[in-house]
Amino acid sequence: MMWGKDHWVGLVINLTCRQVEILDCNIPLNESDNEVNKHMAYLLRALPHVFAAFSPPSDSSHPEEDQAFSWVRPDNIYFNERSGDCGPCAVKFLEMHAAGYSYEDMEQIDDKKVDIFRQKYAMDTYEEFIGNAKVQNDG
């Protein structure tokens, strides 16, 4: 999710707990809880309605109230002090979450690892959208 014009965070939507985990590599440098609430308000209001639209009917007279979502931002994941790494970090956090890694594992990332996966993402993107990643030199 893009916050403002220059900050990416990863979102893990847990339907069972009705909670959105915000994977943010820049918590100490970023918004207060009030600012996070502003970024998340629309999504948190929309999720119960989306969830209800694709779920079996409920006996509740107010299903959207029964299905309220909240957010949490774990603070024990890698903290990145550099500018421009939030997008690749958000993607890496989501990959790690999908593979079953813990927040403690996410905390083990360092700037050198960020440099490596940024380069890998760039090459993967180039290969996917432009062509073979091998550079041709026609002399």
- 68 close to 18: Cβ distance less than 8 angstroms: yes
First-last CA distance in the chain? 43
Can you give the pLDDT at residue 6? 87
75 token code pair = 């603070």
Alpha carbon distances (Å) from 84 to 16, 25, 61, 80: 33, 11, 46, 9
Q: Is the pLDDT of residue 136 over 80?
A: no
Global pTM reads 0.81
Instruction: Report, as an integer, the average pLDDT of 87-102.
Output: 96
Query: Domain map of the chain by residue range?
Result: 2-130
For the chain, percent of residues with pLDDT exceeding 90: 53
- 79 close to 108: Cβ distance less than 8 angstroms: no
Task: Give per-residue pLDDT as tens, 11-46.
Answer: 999 988 999 999 999 887 667 888 899 999 999 999
Confidence of residue 133 (pLDDT cuts 50, 70, 90): low
